[in-house]
Amino acid sequence: MKKNMNDELARIKSEPALSQELFRRREYSIYHLEYDKELAFYDAVKKGDFDLVKRLMLPLRNEKLGKLSENPLRNLKYHLVITVAMITRFCIEGGLPPEPAYTLSDIYIRQIDSAGDEDTITMLHREAVFDFTSRMKELKEVHGLSRRTTAAIDYIYDHLNEKIQLFRMAETLGVNKTYLCALFRRETGITVGQYVMKKKIEAAEKMLLYSENSSAQISALFSFSSASHFIEIFKKETGLTPSHYRKIRRSEAFTTMAEK
């Protein structure tokens, strides 16, 4: 009974502020983003649909997202924390394992909390959305593969920072190396080695875009034989050197967000 009374008192206390704010929004034609469009964005992330995510993704400065703080930087931080929290839950619903999903969410929220300017928040927004979308896209692709190939992909993901040796991977998975290589190529269309390099370069791309690590540091992080070897492979895969990639992609990221 007491709990019900407290709930009612809380509702009565908030009613004047709610009524006043609703009146102000009607007066100045200020409206939140339509509920179905908001759900469509989160659902696109859950499905790993990059094209749709890019079309539906709004900049955090968009007035339809509402004002949560008079402080501009804090307002962006609040919106991004909400976005990350919502994406995390949609992705878990879509099949992303809860523990890595919540851990990834915690990592981004800590970065948001420590961000000191709006440009950093803008970059984190793009990174978090595309990171979760990428993971969901891979999850959907993996579902169509055999148990052995899925296990190999999981192994590669877990050891991406190491020099992955085929014989050791096959030994860990309890399967013949030749059989595993043939199966992997048949189901994915590329060799294990090509897949490993593809994923290392994709991870390196994210580090170039969202960190200040040098090519030499990134090369060491992903166990390339040398910085020059990393630069050579990176240019072969992307058409750009790491330094040019960083410069061009960061410029494109800011331009894209500014135009929305």
Residues 121 and 205 in one domain: no
Residues 112 and 90 in one domain: yes
- Rounded CA-CA distance 195/201 in Å is 10
Q: How many CB atoms lie within 10 A of CB 30?
A: 13
Residues 70 and 138 in one domain: yes
Please report whether residue 78 resides in a domain.
Answer: yes
Give the count of domains, the chain: 3
- Rounded CA-CA distance 183/193 in Å is 13
Residues 173 and 252 in one domain: no
Please report whether residue 20 resides in a domain.
Answer: no
- Rounded CA-CA distance 91/96 in Å is 6
Residues 179 and 101 in one domain: no
Asked if 107 and 17 touch (Cβ cutoff 8 Å), the reply is no
Select from 154, 136, 43, 41 the least CA-distant residue to 96.
136
Q: What is the pLDDT along the chain (260 residues), one digit of tens a residue?
A: 544 544 544 444 445 554 554 344 444 343 444 667 788 899 999 999 999 999 988 888 776 667 788 898 999 999 999 999 999 999 999 888 888 889 889 999 999 999 999 989 998 999 999 999 988 988 877 767 888 998 898 899 888 899 999 999 999 999 999 999 999 999 989 999 999 999 999 889 888 887 788 999 999 999 999 999 999 999 999 999 999 999 888 777 655 545 54
Please report whether residue 151 resides in a domain.
Answer: yes
Residues 180 and 225 in one domain: no
3-state secondary structure of 23: helix
For 80-139, give the DSSP string.
HHHHHHHHHHHHHHTT--HHHHHHHHHHHHHHHHH--SHHHHHHHHHHHHHHHHHHHHHH
Supply the Cα-derived Rg of the chain in whole angstroms: 23
Tell me the residue range of the domain where 49 lies: 29-142
Please report whether residue 24 resides in a domain.
Answer: no
| pLDDT for the residue numbered 250 | 78
Single-letter amino acid, residue 105: S
